Amino acid sequence: MPGRTPFLAAFAAVYRGQLSRGKVARMPLMFVATLQSVGILLLLRGVVSVSDVTTCAQVVAGCTVLVVAFVALNLLAQRFGALRAAGALDYYLTLPVPGTAVVLGTAASYATFAVPGVVVTAVTGALLFDLPLSGLWVLAPVALLAGGSLAGIGAAAGLLAPRPELATIAGQLGMSIVLFLGIIPSDRLPGVGWLVRDVLPSSYAVDALTETFLPSVRWGIVALDLGVCALVAVVTLAAAAGALRRAGTA
């Protein structure tokens, strides 16, 4: 029996395979993921006062992370739900590769096509709301870590859902929650919404990006928020790998 394939080699193989498959739908994916976020920005531009810098920064950051959530939650839940329904998970489970490489490689392939949407949304939002562009280099770690933490949740939802239709609903519901809790400042959330927001990993990515749009950036807060995202990403991807093994043996 061959030895277990190292993680990086397994990740690269899964990534290339899923990337080749995803090229067919790359343009619709890029268009839809970007259009919905830019549309929300245009809508809120007529509602939110530009003088309220904190709220404007929150709106732009929330809409930017929404592009990541569209891929990591909605599309991944659908993809893994379809793989389970078709019995295609058995193929991956017979390979000597870590389950996290399968989940992360698939997530990364979809995230590649979302990168232009993340950049376009952030730049468009900053220009619409008169926010500085100097801190946008933080987009790279924000998108990476938010994508990792949400990808584990989306993959697990698709793998554990008994039917692909339920996986689709779960992904869309999760994306809606990310949107609602991302664009509204925590002190303005109704009821116990602030508590739900604190549990949601994407909230920390939104807060990190929001901080970079403010006049005086607290880099310690940015680093702390990104650290939380990184920790949650490890936990959720490990949970998704466990869900992959469970779904394959069910």
List the single range of 1-5, 148-152, 239-243 with lowest mean pLDDT.
1-5
- Work out the average pLDDT over 228-233: 91
**CB neighbours of 110 closer than 8 A, spacing ≥ 6?**
18, 22, 29, 71, 72, 75, 76, 79
| Residue 35 and residue 112 in contact, taking contact as beta carbons nearer than 8 Å | no
Higher pLDDT: 93 or 210? It is 210
- Work out the average pLDDT over 67-88: 84
> Can you give the pLDDT at residue 210?
93
> Can you give the pLDDT at residue 36?
86
The yes-or-no verdict on residue 115 having pLDDT over 80 is yes
Identity of the residue numbered 93:
L
Could you tell me the pLDDT band of residue 23, with boundaries at 50, 70 and 90?
low
Helices (H), the chain: 7-22, 26-45, 53-69, 76-85, 89-93, 99-128, 139-160, 164-183, 193-199, 201-213, 219-249
> Can you give the pLDDT at residue 189?
79
Higher pLDDT: 43 or 50? It is 43
Tokens of 37: 């976020």
- Cα 133 to Cα 125: distance, rounded to the nearest angstrom: 10
- Cα 17 to Cα 20: distance, rounded to the nearest angstrom: 5
- Work out the average pLDDT over 96-120: 81
List the single range of 36-45, 76-85, 125-134, 140-149 with lowest mean pLDDT.
76-85
In eight-state DSSP terms, residue 87 is: T
Could you tell me the pLDDT band of residue 193, with boundaries at 50, 70 and 90?
confident
> Can you give the pLDDT at residue 125?
93
Tokens of 173: 């519901």
Task: Please report how the helices 219-249 and 201-213 are oriented relative to each other, as an axis angle in degrees rounded to 10.
Answer: 150
% of the chain surpassing 70 pLDDT = 93
> Can you give the pLDDT at residue 60?
94
Q: What is the average pLDDT value for the chain, to the nearest integer?
A: 84
The reported pTM is 0.87
> Can you give the pLDDT at residue 8?
83
> Can you give the pLDDT at residue 134?
87
**Rg, C-alpha atoms of the chain:** 18
